[in-house]
Amino acid sequence: MNAYKTVLVTGGAGYISSHATLALLQAGFDLVVLDNLCNASAESLRRVAQLSGRAPVFVQGDIRDRALLDHLLAQHWVQAVLHFAGPKAVGESLAQPLSYYSNNVGGTVNLCQAMAAASVFTLLFSSSATVYGDSATVSITEDQPLGQITNPYGRSKFMVEQLLGDIVASDKRWRVALLRYFNPVGAHESGQIGEDPNGIPNNLLPFVAQVAVGQSPELAVFGHDYPTLDGTGVSDYIHVVDLAEGHLAALKAIYSCPGMEVWSLGTGNGYSVLQLVRAFEAASGRHVPYRLAERRPGDVATCYAHPGKAAAELNWISKRDLHSIMRDAWRWQSQNPDGYRG
Ligand code: NAD
Ligand code: WQD
């Protein structure tokens, strides 16, 4: 039995959100998806509907459009919001900081104003482990001091966390979950939905997949002299379906948690860049040529979640291992070599 019935999913046609949308539809929620399609295709939602046997209401539009939000929240009797919308590329945010602050900070302010006006006070926010910055510890708990964030994207996420804390403090009706994702990877096991990056991917696994199919000649491994098992950086890669299930668990939990809660969504395990490359090669049967390159500014040697708080409070842990991640990533990539354009 779901405590909420109708949920608005902002940015719901995207990579993580399409998997969350599928999980929520399968769990019986009614969904309204608002996405401006700046980094997505409506084809993802068509496939989600096919997989779940139920279609979300889809509205193409922008979270900064207040009149549209007012209309959607009222017309569909929305009770809770999953807020994914916003750009996410660290490099792009350095070149276009105002666009990141406008979308991520301005968009969230607009959304919260519209929610309050419509008496919708439950929000799950897609935050990021990037808010932990250059942490001194490697197994990161939610009470870790934040800061030392090196780019406008990360700072925009940090600012949103702060502003959400302020509105929760000002009005006891709010229930807000800050979900700090580690490194989402993989695809739905059907091979029907997955990550479809525009142009050259920003993140490691989509880039590895492009090298494997010959769309890029080789991978540059950023840093080979870190104090790790093989000298390359160690990160916490979480299967996107596990992450989607984390949203379902958080939505159920927040119903009985007034105020603001923070949950890191990660696996608690770290893998190095070269371990990830070898696991991809094993799952795909493809060779991934690589060269060792300089460290990338802003990277850390080792970073993974301490998943204890989410396990205790959400009754959620990640279940899918590195092999499943690679198998599902490869199934998506090989069945959809041109992504949703195919
Ligand atoms: P994505 O780009 O696939 O999804 C974001 C979606 O939001 C896209 O469908 C895009 O078209 C839409 N969108 C962007 N701006 C919008 C606006 N102003 N109005 C309406 N729709 C808009 O990205 P993703 O990887 O699925 O990330 C989803 C969320 O999770 C983002 O907030 C991102 O910052 C956060 N996050 C992502 C990662 C990651 O590594 N992928 C890690 C931590 C946090
Ligand atoms: C992982 C590892 C790289 C590319 C980023 C954002 C973070 C969050 C998740 C949104 C690192 C190495 C990478 C390449 C490489 N996103 N690498 N060659 O940096 O942990 O996190 O995505 O919130 O904010 O910063 O992920 O996939 O870029 O890198 O060697 O071509 O792969 O150095 O060790 P990252 P990533």
Q: What is the pLDDT of residues 70-125, one digit of tens each?
A: 999 999 999 999 999 999 999 999 999 999 999 999 999 999 999 999 999 999 99
Among residues 30, 44, 35, which one has the least CA distance to residue 80?
Answer: 30
Residue 150 burial by CB count (10 A; 0-12/13-18/19+): exposed, middle or buried?
A: middle
pLDDT > 90 in the chain, percent: 90
Nearest to 72 by CA among 30, 44, 14: 30
Across the range 136-149, mean pLDDT stands at 87
pLDDT number for residue 291:
98
Three-state SS for 92? helix
Judged against a pLDDT cut of 90, whether residue 150 lies above it is answered with no
Whether 14 is in the pocket of ligand 1, judged by its Cβ within 6 Å, is: yes
Instruction: Give the side-chain half-sphere CA count within 13 A for 308.
Output: 6
Sign of the CA dihedral 201, 185, 328, 221? positive
The per-residue pLDDT of the chain, averaged, comes to 96
Total residues belonging to the chain: 342
pLDDT score, position 137? 78
What's the gap in Å between 130 CA and the centre of ligand 2?
10
DSSP H/E element including 10: strand 6-10
- What's phi and psi for 250, nearest 5 deg? -70, -35
Q: Residue 58 has which token pair?
A: 């889809």
CA 279/CA 294 separation, integer angstroms: 23
User: Which one of 182, 204, 211, 299 would you pick to mutate in the ligand 2 pocket, going by the greatest count of ligand atoms within 8 A of its CB?
Assistant: 204
Query: For residue 45, what pLDDT is reported?
Result: 98
Model confidence at 2, pLDDT cuts 50, 70, 90, reads: low
CA-derived radius of gyration, the chain: 19
Distance from residue 204's CA to the centre of ligand 2 (Å): 6
Pocket test for ligand 1, best of 33, 90, 99, 126 (most atoms within 8 A of CB): 126
Cα 239 to ligand 2 centre (Å): 15
Which residues form the catalytic set?
A: 153
Quote the ligand 2 centre to 222 CA distance (angstroms).
9
| CB of 90 shorter than 6 A to ligand 2 | yes
Distance 87 CA to ligand 1 centre (A): 5
Q: Is 222 in the pocket of ligand 2 (CB under 6 A)?
A: yes
Give the DSSP H/E element, type plus range, for residue 235: strand 234-235
Which pLDDT band, with edges at 50, 70 and 90, does 202 fall under? confident
pLDDT digits (tens, 9 = 90+) for 12-47: 999 999 999 999 999 999 999 999 999 999 999 999
Strands 271-272 and 234-235: antiparallel
**62 in contact with ligand 1, CB cutoff 6 A:** yes
Q: Are the beta carbons of 247 and 23 closer than 8 angstroms?
A: yes
Instruction: State residue 90's pLDDT score.
Output: 92
H or E stretch covering 153: helix 152-170
pLDDT of residue 176: 98
DSSP per position, 56-91: PEEEE--TT-HHHHHHHHHHTT--EEEE--S---HH
CA distances from 82 to 126, 138, 153, 215, 247 (A): 8, 29, 19, 34, 8
Name the pLDDT band for 138 (thresholds 50, 70, 90): confident
pLDDT of 198 reads 85
Tokens of 184: 């989402």
Give 295-340 pLDDT, tens digit per residue.
Answer: 998 888 999 999 999 999 999 999 999 999 999 999 999 999 899 9
Ligand closest to 270 (CA) is 2
Q: Is 107 in the pocket of ligand 1 (CB under 6 A)?
A: yes
What atom in ligand 1 is closest to the CA of residue 63? 19
Average pLDDT for 263-276: 98
Q: Predicted confidence band at 1 (pLDDT cuts at 50, 70, 90)?
A: low
Average pLDDT of span 128-143: 88
User: Residue 38: CB within 6 Å of ligand 1?
Assistant: yes
Residues 6+ apart with CB under 8 A from 231: 223, 224, 225
Give the closest ligand to the alpha carbon of residue 234. 2
- Residue listed under structure tokens 């608690």: 268
State the pLDDT confidence band at 342, using cuts at 50, 70 and 90. confident
Residue nearest to atom 17 of ligand 2 (CA): 204
Rounded Cα gap, residues 210 and 194, in angstroms:
14
